[in-house]
Amino acid sequence: MHDIISVSSVHGKREPIPLMTADDRKGSKYWKFDPAKVVAIVESTFPDRNAPFKAPEEIHKKIAQHIMDFFDGEVKAKRLPKNLTPLQSGVATSRTRCSSA
């Protein structure tokens, strides 16, 4: 679980989060919740999956080009700033899904 923080909803007006080292923290180190809403705790012996990414195939390169074209169009239309502000992608597996009751 990552640091729980709040970020401005105004795109292009966000301040950098001053995290400079691996042990820096911003926000809460834990998640507050109502224990009465917990319906189960699932223990797992599955190891973390930190497998390396495979080399991109032609279809992946086409998808990436479509994304770059989209961002380019949004910048030209002035809906996004030229620096695109920080962008973040995420990768998850079926084992990392989380839902709440």
How distant, in Å, are the alpha carbons of 42, 45, 55, 90 from that of 38? Answer: 11, 21, 41, 26
> Which tokens go with 97?
């899904």
Give the pLDDT score at 93. Answer: 52
Mean of pLDDT over the chain? 78
Cα–Cα nearest to 80, from 17, 14, 16: 14
Could you tell me the residue ranges of all domains in the chain?
A: 35-96
Instruction: Tell me what the mean pLDDT of segment 29-49 comes to.
Output: 86
Per-residue pLDDT, 81 = 87
| Cβ contacts of 27 within 8 Å, gap of 6 or more | 3, 4, 5, 6
Measuring CA to CA, which residue among 10, 20, 33 is closest to residue 80? Answer: 10
- In this prediction, residue 67 has a pLDDT band, given cuts at 50, 70 and 90, of very high
Task: Report pLDDT digits (tens) over 7-16.
Answer: 666 777 777 7
Q: Which residues, at least 6 apart from 45, have a Cβ–Cβ distance to it below 8 Å?
A: none
pTM, two decimals, is 0.43
